[in-house]
Amino acid sequence: MKALRVAIGLALAVLATLALGALRVPAPPDFFLLVVADMARGGAVVAATLGGLPAGLLEDALAGPQGLIGLHAFTKILVGYLLATIGSRTIVEKPLAVGGLLAGAVLVEAAALTFLLWVLRGDVLAPAPWLLLGRAATTGLVGGALHAASRVPWRQRREARRRMRLT
Amino acid sequence: MASPSLAARRPEILLAGLLSLCLVVLSLQVRRPGGRTAGETWLLAAASPFVEAVTSLRTAAADAGSWASSRRRLLAANRSLTGEIERLQGELLRLRDAERDKTRLLELLAAQPAPPAGTVPARLITIESSGPFRTGLLDRGASDGVRVDGVVIAPGGLVGRVIASGPHTARLQLLSDKTAAVGVLLPRGARAGVAKGDGKGGIAVEYVPTIEPVEKNDLVVSSGTDGVYPNGLAVGRVSALARKSTLFWEIQLEPAADPRSETLVFVLPPVRRSDVQGGPAAGDRR
């Protein structure tokens, strides 16, 4: 079930990334991180870590530097582990907190990415700060919004509406 | 005990495995300046100690071979040089001998600018002084004109006389021999005496009356009255002086010519009786 959820999430992430890229959005949210964060909910470390691998590989295929498959996979696995570890020790329920956590995860991932590139290539390729902050903000916003939306009892509301229509 | 621990560590193990896998995959792709991938670079870095060890071994083996070859070469050169040094040392000794001989000859010629006819230069090869008799061996003999009773002189003075002459060698009696005697003259009063060898390397003068003035360092010369030695040849210097009795001095001479340091001597022809009796030839032999 979780695998299907990951597959759907990743497919949507790919579509969203492509769509926003076509729209030339300067700082699009990290949809793949949202998928990983979804896996990490409730402290599922193994699921988050395993989910980070395909998410990162897809991101590498879509937006990674040429000929470097595995770069985002590394960071996504790492971020997935961290998020799951945090989720297993604390309860983060408020959308604002979730958004902040995701924004922080974007920053951590960027730092890990920069460090990894420095290790591998020998030069520091840090992203533009404002773009990074924008990406962190949008990711946090979208993640917080999705989290808030996920907390809404849509099924119960729909059942209630259906019952009201019948009566 | 290990299983629960491993199970508890499963997320971390999974994380480490996945991250390592990513790193390996990445390292196989990233190209460093110089064209190598990071993986190749890391692999080379990991293998470099082994490569260095192999290189060191090969270098050490080459050095050892070179050392052995150099050692052989150096040993051969050393042997050659040692031989050359020995040869040169021999040459040097010969040259020194020749130089000494030349100096002696010059001294002899200076002392005896006109040696009498029949004078033969000779080398004093050996000196026998271990027993009571003191003799020497010359490298010239009868075939060279060395005859018995020939007078042997050195630049310093009288050395002895020939007592036996073979075809190519001759034996001489040194003045310090216990059986040798020579008539001498003391310089201050022209008093005659007899000098005899003491068998120890020295010469003693006998029969000099105490009324005769004698001083240390006086040069005593041959008198020519003994029928063996010509007159006027230096015999020795007074080294010790004492009254043996009320009548005679006890005089010790230091030989004028030390046979131990002489290698080149002249052998004069034997003195003729007519010379002893006052002929002029004897005095001319100085």
With CB atoms and an 8 Å threshold, state whether A81 touches B38. no
CA distance B140 to B172: 11
Question: Residue B126 pLDDT more than 70?
Answer: yes
Q: Look at residue B4 in the predicted model and tell me its pLDDT.
A: 59
Burial class (CB in 10 A: 0-12, 13-18, 19+), B277: exposed
Structure tokens belonging to residue A139: 């990711």
Phi and psi at residue B236, to the nearest 5°: 175, 175
User: Please, which residues bridge with residue B266 across strands?
Assistant: B121, B153
pLDDT in tens, B103-122: 877 777 665 556 677 788 89
DSSP state of B63: H
Q: Cα distance from B51 to chain A (closest Cα, Å)?
A: 23
Q: Look at residue A24 in the predicted model and tell me its pLDDT.
A: 81
Three-state DSSP class for B154? coil
The conformational region for residue B233 under phi > 0 = left, psi -120 to 50 = alpha, else beta, is beta
Lowest mean per-residue pLDDT among B20-34, B80-94, B172-186, B259-273: B20-34
With CB atoms and an 8 Å threshold, state whether A52 touches B11. no
ipTM summary value: 0.77
Question: Residue B86 pLDDT more than 90?
Answer: yes
pLDDT in tens, B201-237: 789 988 888 888 888 888 899 988 888 898 888 999 9
Three-state DSSP class for B31? strand
3-state SS of A22-90?
HCCCCCCCCHHHHHHHHHCHHHCHHHHHHHHHHHHHHHHHHHCCCCCCCHHHHHHHHHHHHHHHHHHHC
pLDDT in tens, A40-97: 988 888 999 999 999 998 888 887 666 678 888 999 999 999 999 998 888 888 889 9
- Angle at which helices A31-39 and A95-121 pack, to 10 degrees? 110
User: What is the separation, in whole angstroms, between the first and last Cα of chain A?
Assistant: 36
Q: Quick one: which of A46, A114, A110 has its CA closest to A77?
A: A46
Q: Look at residue B279 in the predicted model and tell me its pLDDT.
A: 40
Lowest mean per-residue pLDDT among A134-148, B65-79, B260-274: B260-274
Instruction: Render A6-27 in DSSP notation, one character per residue.
Output: HHHHHHHHHHHHHHHHHTT-SS
Contacts of A84 in chain B (CB under 8 A): 11
Under the banding of pLDDT at 50, 70 and 90, the label for residue B25 is: confident
Under the banding of pLDDT at 50, 70 and 90, the label for residue B94 is: very high
Residue B113 in contact with partner chain A when CB distance is under 8 A: no
Residue A145 in contact with partner chain B when CB distance is under 8 A: no
Q: Which of A71, A81, A84 sits opposite B26 (nearest CB)?
A: A71
Mean pLDDT over A28-42 rounds to 91
Q: Which of B10, B15, B22 sits opposite A70 (nearest CB)?
A: B22
Q: Quick one: which of A125, A104, A123, A102 has its CA closest to A113?
A: A125
Mean pLDDT over B130-143 rounds to 81
CA distance B158 to B160: 6
Q: Which of A70, A84, A119 sits opposite B25 (nearest CB)?
A: A70
Q: Look at residue A97 in the predicted model and tell me its pLDDT.
A: 92
